[in-house]
Structure 1
Amino acid sequence: MTSLAPVASCEVTACAFNDGACRADAVTISGSTGSPTCGTFIALDVRGGLPTAEGHVGACQRLECVHNTDLMCTAEAVTVGGDTANCLTYSQE
C-alpha cells in the first residue's frame, strides 16, 4: 500500500468536515462489527478542515472488513453516507 484510500464521497451534510465533500485530512472508520461508521464525524454549526476536498481514510478499526490490512483501508476509495456516517464501502469477510 503506497497511499491512503480517498473518501470518494460523503453524503453526511450534518458533519462539520463536509462542505460539499469531505474536507478532513484523514478520517477514521470505527464503530461496532457490522456497523462501520466514520469516527471523525462531528456535528457542529461551523465548517472546518482543509480548504479543498481531499479527505482520506487514515485508519480503519473494522478488522473484519475485506478492505482492512494492518488497520489501513485498501479500497480504491470509500463512500460515507446515511444518518450515522456509515462507511458504505465496508464489506465483511
Structure 2
Amino acid sequence: MTDVLEMPAVHDCSATSCAYNDDGCHAFAISMNADAACATFLSLNDKGGLDVVAQVGACQRADCVNNEALECRAPFVSVGSAASGADCLSYVKA
C-alpha cells in the first residue's frame, strides 16, 4: 500500500484575479507547471472553490529544492501575481 503524503498548504496567494482566490486560495489542490507558474490559475469574475485551504500537489519544476519525485515537499508555499497568472514564490533553484 502506498503511504499518503501530507501536501503543503498554500500559505498565501496575492493573485486576486484568480477565481479560486477569495481571501486565500480555495481550490482543493493546485499544481505548478515547469515554469513554476500555478497551473490551476483561472481568471473569471466569479469566485469558486471549496471551504478549504488549498494544498500543492504536483509540481513539474524538477529543479526546485522542494521538488521530490515531481511532488512539492515544502512546508508551505506562497503564490503571487504574475503578468499572465500566478507564480510560485517559494521556488528555490536546487
- The answer, yes or no, to whether TM exceeds 0.5 is yes
The list of structure 1 runs, each at least 4 consecutive aligned residues, that deviate by more than 3 angstroms after superposition, is none
Deviation at 1:31, TM superposition (A): 3.9
What are the residue-to-residue correspondences of 1:1-93 with 2, within 5 Å? 2-32=5-35, 36-52=36-52, 54-83=53-82, 84-93=85-94
Identity of aligned residues (%): 40
Deviations 1:28-81 (A, max 9, x none): 01143xxx11000010010111024x1000110100000000111000000000
Partner SS state of residue 20, structure 2? coil
Structure 1 alignment gaps of length 5 or more: none
RMSD of Structure 2 on Structure 1 (CA): 1.3
Aligned pair count?
A: 89
Structure 2 alignment gaps of length 5 or more: none
Normalised by the size of structure 1, how large is the TM-score? 0.90
Structure 1: how far apart are the matches of 2:18 and 2:73?
A: 24
Q: Report the AA paired with residue 30 of structure 1.
A: N
